[in-house]
Structure 1
Amino acid sequence: MSDMPNKHNGLGPVDSVFRGIVFLCRVVAGGALVAMTLLLGYQVFGRYVLNDTPTWVDPLSLLLVMLIAFLGAGIGVYEHTHLSVVVFRKMVASKVRSLMVILTDVLMTIFGGLMLWYGGQLTLFKWNSLIPLIQWPEGLRSLPLTICGGMILVFSLGHLARHLLGRDTRTDSIE
C-alpha cells in the first residue's frame, strides 16, 4: 500500500487503518487526476473540433484540483514528505531536536484541527449555494479542505503518539 512499509509500524492496528486511508486517498486522487486530464482533453476537443466549448469543464476541473491537492497534502503529512525545514533540527542536540519534533507535531495537530473545524463550518455554510454552470453544492469546494484537516489532525496525533512511545522512525526526528 505504501512505498515505505516499515516507516509507520509503531501503533499496530492504528497504522494499518492509516495505511488504508492513505491508499484510498491515493486511489481517489489518482482517479481525479485521470478524470481531470480526460475532461480537459474533452474541453480542447469541444473548442477546436466541435466549435462548442463545454463551459462546465472548468468548474469541475477546479473541484478535482482541490481534491488532488488536499488529499496529497494529507498523505504528505502521514508519510512525512510534506514541505519541511529540518535544517534547524539538524543543527541542535538530540534532546532539543526531540522537543522540536514534539512541538512540530503539536502545532500540526492544532493546524489540522483548525482546518477540520473551520473547513467544516465553511462547507456547511456554502452547501445550499450552487456552483454556477454545474449546479453542484458550493460546499464541495471546501470539502477537500475539511477532509485534509481531519487527515492532518489524525496523522499528526499518530506521529506524536509514536514519538512519545519511543517508536518514531522518521529519519530527521532522532538520529
Structure 2
Amino acid sequence: MAALESAFAALARLTVFIAAASLCALVGLLAWQVFGRYVLNASPSWTEPLALTLMSVAALFGAAVAVRSESHFAFPTLVESSPKAVRGVLKVFARLIALVFGAALGGFGAFMMADSWAVPMAGAPIPEGMSYVGLAGGGALIALFALERLIFGDAPDPHHEAPAEA
C-alpha cells in the first residue's frame, strides 16, 4: 500500500508540474499575442486556440490536485459541523460525486478528442482534438484522485511532515 501511496504522490507532483507549466506557457503565449497585435500590428492566429487549450489543461489538472487534497468539490462547513458519523458519510459521498463527474469528464473528453483528431484546428497547425486534452486528462485525474481518497481516506496534511525513517 505504501508503494501505491507514493505512486499517487508522484502522479500528483507531475500533475502540479504540468498545470504550472501550462500556466507559464499561457502567460508567454498571451504576451506574444499582445506584442504581435500592438507592436508588430500582426496578431498571430494560432495564439488564441492554443491559449484556450493551455487554460483547459491548467484548470482541470489543478482541479484534480485539489480533489486529491480534498480542497475542491466539497461543502466544508456542512461536513465539519456534522456529527462524526455523518461526517464520514458526507466525505464518502463527496468523493463518489467527484469520481463520477471526473470519469464522465474524462470519458467524454477522450471521445471528443478522438472524434475531432483528424480535423485541423482553426488558426493553429495542430489537430482540433488537442483542445480536449485538458478535459480528457484532467477528468481522468479527478476520477483517479477521488478513487485514491475513497481507498486511503482523508488527504494527508500538506503542512505536516512525515517523520524521517531510520
Q: Same fold (TM over 0.5)?
A: yes
Residue 16 (structure 2) pairs with residue 35 (structure 1): no
Residue 8 (structure 2) pairs with residue 18 (structure 1): yes
The one of 60, 74, 78 equivalent to 2:64 is 74
Judged with a 3 Å threshold, the aligned counterparts in structure 2 of structure 1 residues 47 and 107 are, in CA distance, closer, same or farther, namely closer
2:161 alignment partner in structure 1: none
Q: Please state whether the residue corresponding to 2:71 is helix, strand or coil.
A: coil
The one of 75, 90, 95 equivalent to 2:80 is 90
Instruction: Tell me how many residue pairs correspond in the alignment.
Output: 157
How far 1:109 moved relative to its partner? 1.5
Aligned alpha-carbon RMSD (Å): 1.8
Mind listing any 5+ residue stretches in structure 2 that lack a counterpart? Answer: 158-166
2:123 alignment partner in structure 1: 133
Distance 1:128 1:95 in 2: 51
The one of 70, 87, 102 equivalent to 2:92 is 102
How far 1:133 moved relative to its partner? 1.0
Distance 1:44 1:57 in 2: 10
Distance 2:155 2:141 in 1: 20
8 A contact 1:70–1:144 mirrored in 2: yes
How far 1:92 moved relative to its partner? 2.1
Deviating 4+ runs (over 2 angstroms): 168-171
Q: Please state whether the residue corresponding to 2:58 is helix, strand or coil.
A: helix
Mind listing any 5+ residue stretches in structure 1 that lack a counterpart? Answer: 1-10
Q: TM-score, normalised by structure 1?
A: 0.81
2:132 alignment partner in structure 1: 142
Distance 1:136 1:107 in 2: 34
